[in-house]
Structure 1
Amino acid sequence: MTRTPASSFLSSALTVAAAGALVAAMAGCVATAPEPASSSTAQGGIRPLGDGFLGSVTTPTPEATVNPEPGSWAGVVPPAGYRVALITAGADAATTTLATAVTTWAERESVALTVLTASTDDEVEQRIDEAVGMAPDLVVGAGSRIVDVFTLLTGQHLQQQFLIIGAELPEPTGNTTAVVWKGASFRGTGLSTADELDPDAVTPARARDAITAGVASVLHDLTGIVLRLPS
């Protein structure tokens, strides 16, 4: 059976997603909150998060935005044998900076990293399929150009954990976590404002914090949320 390319239904699917969000809000739907991070929920041997990681939030609800204090994720590193697939789209400066941060982090932490590059939405769709087929511990999407397709497809692979850095999904499912900051919080075509997409905001230091904080959150089972790094 031939699947319709992502580019042919992005616009209509995003419109349906927005309408669904409005209906859910009017109905007063309340989702079940994930468990808070603790030594029992984190993977064995993972260093605890700092007290300021969740900010003022005790137990984040799905899709919640939390504001971790700088350095509250320090020292939280993946276990031996951790595998990551990185998906990028385009060769713009912001995407390149994010990808470099991920590859540098992977080398430093001895993470097995596979890099999958794309140029179009259809290629992003193909790279997601390839990444999920590898069954890595985590699939990382870097930058704004992967957002529209990730919005459509991450919810179809609930067994796979995804992390987006430098952008976010408008309605993430419980398996998709994002790390954003001022100027790097693109939410999708037709949904974002100009101040959410500032290439100059994506610096090497920000990108480094994004991958380390995001992975720390995933390792502690704090997923389906958005981490907003301090300005």
Structure 2
Amino acid sequence: MTRRTIALRALIRAVATLAAVAAVSAGCGSPSDDWTQPHPMPTAVGVLGAGFVDPSATPTPEGTVTPKPGSWNDVHPSKGYRVVLLTAGHDAPTNALIKAVQDWAVEEDVSLRTIAADGDHVAGITKAIGMKPDLIVSAGNDLVDALAVVTASHLSQQFLVVGAEVAEPTQNVTASDWSGASFRGEGLGASSAYDPASFTEQRCAAAIRAGVAAVLHNLTGIVIWLDKI
């Protein structure tokens, strides 16, 4: 085999590798990642542990539950779970929440799309809804007021607000937050208890996992309070 032949074969292999990478980057990866195709209704894989909610009383709409830490650990989304991460802002707390959601999506093999809605928040939310995901996760205080306006008109779409909450959520809006993250919008600004330092890696990870566990078990329209983390 001549040197020219060896070099040519090496070039062909390199081109094939680059083409494969480009296909994946363009969204031409596995069939389960193609959102133009139908997929099964998402289900919970695993069950909530003792202490997530009081088994004798179903949480009331707009109510608050304080789950036992780790009571959501055995709950995972079913294969092909589709999530849109909606973001606004570049502050440290928002970035911590974004990273937690991204890490969770990788660990759970979730199909994740991200929309940065830093300009027109309502337009960003509307775009996310149009993608028809199983869940829209919101990260960033700037989105709260826009969510309050839009979500009530799209009751079939589930939303999870991490690190904040909507003041008067409808049944399709769930929140995971804590004292240092209790932003509720309505022009009131951050509460006196707001603390950027409270957005730790552990608490942000708990916010997405506990919130998704609740949504998968149809415990929606509530606030999941994570002060014990």
TM class by shorter chain equals 0.7 to 0.9
Partner of 1:204: 201
- Alignment of 1:230 with 2:220, yes or no, is no
Partner of 1:91: 90
Q: Is the 8 A contact 2:49 2:74 kept in 1?
A: no
SS of match in other structure, 1:132: helix
Q: Distance in 2 between matches of 1:45 and 1:193?
A: 34
**What code does the residue aligned with 2:123 have?**
Q
Deviations 1:94-133 (A, max 9, x none): 100000000010011000000111223xx22111111111
SS of match in other structure, 2:185: coil
What's the offset of the Cα at 1:230? 2.7
Instruction: Pick closer, same or farther for the CA change 1:43–1:103 going to 2, 3 Å.
Output: closer
Relative contact order higher in (CA < 8 Å, ≥ 6 apart): 1
Q: Distance in 2 between matches of 1:196 and 1:124?
A: 25
User: Structure 1: any 5+ residue segments left out of the alignment?
Assistant: 1-41
Q: Distance in 2 between matches of 1:86 and 1:57?
A: 34
Instruction: Pick closer, same or farther for the CA change 1:69–1:115 going to 2, 3 Å.
Output: same
Question: How large is the Cα RMSD of the aligned pairs?
Answer: 1.8
Partner of 1:106: 105
Q: How does 1:59-208 map to 2 (within 5 A)?
A: 59-120=58-119, 123-191=120-188, 194-208=191-205
What's the offset of the Cα at 1:195? 2.6
Instruction: Pick closer, same or farther for the CA change 1:88–1:159 going to 2, 3 Å.
Output: same
**What code does the residue aligned with 1:91 have?**
H
Structure 1 stretches of 4+ moved >2 Å: 42-46, 189-197
Deviations 1:160-184 (A, max 9, x none): 0000000001100000000011210
SS of match in other structure, 1:113: strand
Q: Distance in 2 between matches of 1:115 and 1:140?
A: 9
**What code does the residue aligned with 1:198 have?**
D
Q: TM-score, normalised by structure 1?
A: 0.77
Q: Distance in 1 between matches of 2:42 and 2:223?
A: 20
Q: How does 1:34-73 map to 2 (within 5 A)?
A: 44=43, 46-55=45-54, 58-73=57-72
Instruction: Pick closer, same or farther for the CA change 1:180–1:55 going to 2, 3 Å.
Output: farther
What's the offset of the Cα at 1:204? 1.1
Q: Is the 8 A contact 1:87 1:124 kept in 2?
A: no
Number of residue pairs matched by the alignment? 188
What's the offset of the Cα at 1:203? 1.1
Q: Is the 8 A contact 1:80 1:110 kept in 2?
A: yes
Instruction: Pick closer, same or farther for the CA change 1:71–1:190 going to 2, 3 Å.
Output: same
Q: Distance in 2 between matches of 1:190 and 1:137?
A: 30
Q: Distance in 1 between matches of 2:175 and 2:193?
A: 14
SS of match in other structure, 1:140: strand
User: Structure 2: any 5+ residue segments left out of the alignment?
Assistant: 1-40
Q: TM-score, normalised by structure 2?
A: 0.78
